[in-house]
Amino acid sequence: MFTYEVTEFGKLPTGEIVHKITFGNGEIIVSVIDFGAAIQSVRMKDKQSHMEEIALNYNTIDDLLANAGVFNGATVGRYANRIAHGKFTLDGVNYEMCVNNGPNSLHGGKVSWGHKMWQFEKLETADAIGVKMTIVSPDGDENYPGEVTMSVSFILNTKNELTLQYSGRTTKRTVINMTNHSYWNMSGDFKQKIYPQILKVNAATYLPVVDMIPTGERRPVADSPFDFREGRPCEQALAIDGGGKPGLDHCFCLDGYKEGALELKEAASLYDKESGRLLRVFTTEPGMQVYMGNWIDGVFPHLQHNAVALECQHFPDSPNHPDFPSTVLDPSETYKQTTVFAFSLL
């Protein structure tokens, strides 16, 4: 039996009310807020039927605003991840965005869609419950071309699958790269680091970076700490330099991707043996940025390596790499991408 409830999460400094939409199926309970179209909470039973939080979250809007740079659970756009020096050229026109992450533009610029209010509406069918979030971004927003209308639907079904469906249109040719920035700890106990949890990533190659920008090479993961194809403890990633801190903050090139096909493929999984909780991630996207919270250094539970983000998306800096899968959206097209978080017990 499905449940659905809308409550007040808090108020922005402008006085605008932020709503929390909570829906569940008896096994999984999801909360999404209309600020940033963010997954605020995901609660799941373990093999002993204990219901616990598995998504890193903030419980008040004030805490969320004070830590906005974490992008906790947010729907990130217009352009998720980084664009080198905040610059790209499209159809002979040079565009320059806010540089907000070292020398680069991150997650859409100064005010990401993950930090804006979205409109919401309830979704319900015989075998699913959820919410649809919609934002209208004006032409020139953060210096990106085109008025863009983007929606993301969060749909929980009876199979314990949380599906995120993105759909968008633009009035001018532009670039779009969407992702969800939830962080996961499948133990349900954020006093535990993610180190023993088993991460599997279905990718034979990844994108090496300089100053967190892809070099253009697709490097094999074989015989390196980046090889998670068979499932390895997250602790293996401590041998990797994730932008000046140990841990992953890299984009993997997912196996089986065919540009334009929009075929769901299994990208990754995260498993906690003690609780029995398993998260499997399926997506139509070509890449997945795995970020282990290397730079998170706040108040418990927001600590380094307490959770891992599995961000399905196109490759970073794609507008400056013609050989990468394209992120260009034409007014004659509809932006479509899907990511599925499938929860189960082993």
Q: Where are the domains of the chain?
A: 3-345
Residue 297: band (very low, low, confident or very high) from pLDDT cuts 50, 70, 90: confident
DSSP letters along 32-95, please?
EETBTTEEEEEEEE-TT--EEE-B---SSHHHHHHTGGG-TT-EE-SB-SEEGGGEEEETTEEE
Is 321 among the residues known to form the active site? no
Query: Which of the residues 250, 285, 311, 321 is marked catalytic?
Result: 311
- Indicate whether this model's pTM tops 0.95: yes
DSSP letters along 285-341, please?
SSEEEEE--TT--SSTT--TTS-EEEEEESPTTGGG-TTSPP-EE-TTS-EEEEEEE
* pLDDT tens digits along 37-84: 999 999 999 999 999 999 999 999 999 999 988 999 999 999 999 999
Name every residue whose Cβ is closer than 8 Å to that of residue 37 and which is 6 or more positions away in sequence. 74, 75, 113, 114, 118, 133, 135, 152
Is 181 among the residues known to form the active site? yes
Q: Are 283 and 329 in contact (CB under 8 A)?
A: no
In this predicted structure, what is the pLDDT of residue 109? Answer: 87
Q: What are phi and psi of 151, to 5 degrees?
A: -125, 150
Residue 294 CA to chain centroid, in angstroms?
Answer: 16
Q: How many residues belong to the chain?
A: 346
The span from the CA of 211 to the CA of 85, in Å, is 10
Dihedral of the CA atoms 261, 309, 203, 232 (nearest 10)? -150
The span from the CA of 228 to the CA of 27, in Å, is 29
Name every residue whose Cβ is closer than 8 Å to that of residue 48 and which is 6 or more positions away in sequence. none
| DSSP-derived secondary structure letter, 181 | -
Dihedral of the CA atoms 67, 38, 165, 95 (nearest 10)? -40
What sign does the dihedral 298-272-224-318 (CA atoms) show?
A: negative
Query: Which of the residues 115, 142, 161, 181 is marked catalytic?
Result: 181
Q: Are 157 and 26 in contact (CB under 8 A)?
A: no
In this predicted structure, what is the pLDDT of residue 156? Answer: 99
In this predicted structure, what is the pLDDT of residue 301? Answer: 87
Q: Are 22 and 7 in contact (CB under 8 A)?
A: yes
Write out the binding residues for beta-D-galactose: 81-82, 181-183, 249
Name the fold adopted by 3-345. Beta-galactosidase; Chain A, domain 5 (2.70.98)
Task: Report the 10 Å Cβ neighbour count for 122.
Answer: 12
* Rounded average pLDDT over 213-219: 97
CA angle 298, 304, 306 (to 5 degrees): 100
* pLDDT tens digits along 165-201: 999 999 999 999 999 999 999 999 999 999 999 999 9
* pLDDT tens digits along 119-164: 999 999 999 999 999 999 999 999 999 999 999 999 999 999 999 9
